[in-house]
Amino acid sequence: MCGRYYIDDGETIADMRKIIEEINAKYQNASEGSVQGSIEEYAEGYVLGSVEGSAAKSKSGSAMKTGEIFPTDSAPVLILRQQAIEPVLMTWGYPKFQSSGVLINARAETAAEKPMFRSSIPKRRCIIPSTGFFEWEHNQGKTKTKFLLQSKESPMLYMAGLYAGFQDKLGKNYAAYVILTVAANASVNTIHDRMPLILDANQNDYWLHDEQYARNLLLTPCPAQLAAIPIWGH
């Protein structure tokens, strides 16, 4: 699974800095009306962000989060808009309708069968940019060590996801995303039996543009090789 992940907003990771700067520019330089008008074109009117103050904001007015990302945080997501990849803000987690809390992951193998997720596959696929995700090693049912898992080949880690529109208790529409997970490969399975569906940078375009490619990828083992870095003191 993926219960937390990490966004390093340092100057050394150019691709991540570019995404963050584009989001800040989008929400800082536009009026509320113009942002709303643009998101209706690709998110069916659901709020991907709002302009409140000097920082990028999301549905609850909370600022864009970097560093360690938790469920319900507002974080950058890449979507397809007018055939171009564009970064936007979304909230992590679909609301649970029969209980409290949110759904943060969707099993890639069964997403096309689940009512909660299947309608997102044709046109609401997304990419969650990160620099790694966290997982906890368990021994005899006890949590042992926290690890940060990162790509061995790139400072960026792109995770495949889905998004949809929802309405909060106050009647405000917003967009939220889930991270797709697959069976863990050999670089992860000594820590956990699930992992995010990780995309190579050269797969990003195909994932967003080509529905059949995406459907095939949902059923394909993830070959990404990850390094597990222990985080002591957690």
Tokens standing for residue 61: 């007015």
Q: Quick one: which of 185, 179, 196, 188 has its CA closest to 223?
A: 185
Average pLDDT, the chain: 85
- 80 pLDDT tier (thresholds 50, 70, 90): very high
Specify the pLDDT at position 5. 97
User: Domains in the chain, please, with CATH?
Assistant: 4-231 (3.90.1680.10)
Tokens standing for residue 52: 């409140």
Beta strands 84-92 and 55-57, pairing class: unpaired
In order, the DSSP letters of the chain are --SEEEE--STT-HHHHHHHHHHHHHHHHS-HHHHHHHHHHHHTT--S-EEETTEEE-TTSPBPP-EEE-TT-EEEEEEEETTEEEEEEEEESEEPSSSSSEE-EEETTTGGG-HHHHTTTTT-EEEEEESEEEEEEEETTEEEEEEEEEESS-S-EEEEEEEEEEE-TTS-EEEEEEEEEEE--TTTTTT-SEEE-EE-GGGHHHHHH-HHHHHHHHTS-----EEEEEETT-
**pLDDT top residue among 11 and 214:** 214
- What is the rounded CA–CA span in Å between residue 222 and residue 220? 6
**pLDDT top residue among 55 and 194:** 194
pTM of the complete model = 0.87
pLDDT in tens, 93-123: 999 987 789 999 999 999 999 999 999 999 9
Those residues with Cβ within 8 angstroms of residue 204's Cβ, 6 or more apart along the chain or in another chain: 78, 85, 127, 158
**pLDDT top residue among 83 and 60:** 83
- 51 pLDDT tier (thresholds 50, 70, 90): very low
Neighbours of 106 (CB within 10 A): 25
Q: Looking at the predicted structure, is the pLDDT value of residue 64 above 60?
A: yes
Specify the pLDDT at position 143. 67
Specify the pLDDT at position 86. 95
pLDDT in tens, 22-46: 999 887 765 444 443 344 344 444 4
CA diameter of the chain: 54
Specify the pLDDT at position 45. 43
Strand pairing partners for 132? Answer: 6
- What is the rounded CA–CA span in Å between residue 209 and residue 214? 9
- 137 pLDDT tier (thresholds 50, 70, 90): confident
- 49 pLDDT tier (thresholds 50, 70, 90): very low
Could you give the percent of the chain with pLDDT greater than 90?
68
Q: Looking at the predicted structure, is the pLDDT value of residue 178 above 70?
A: yes
- 234 pLDDT tier (thresholds 50, 70, 90): low
Is 135:149 a contact under the CB 8 Å cutoff? Answer: yes
Cα atoms found within 13 Å of the Cα of residue 209, Cβ hemisphere only: 10
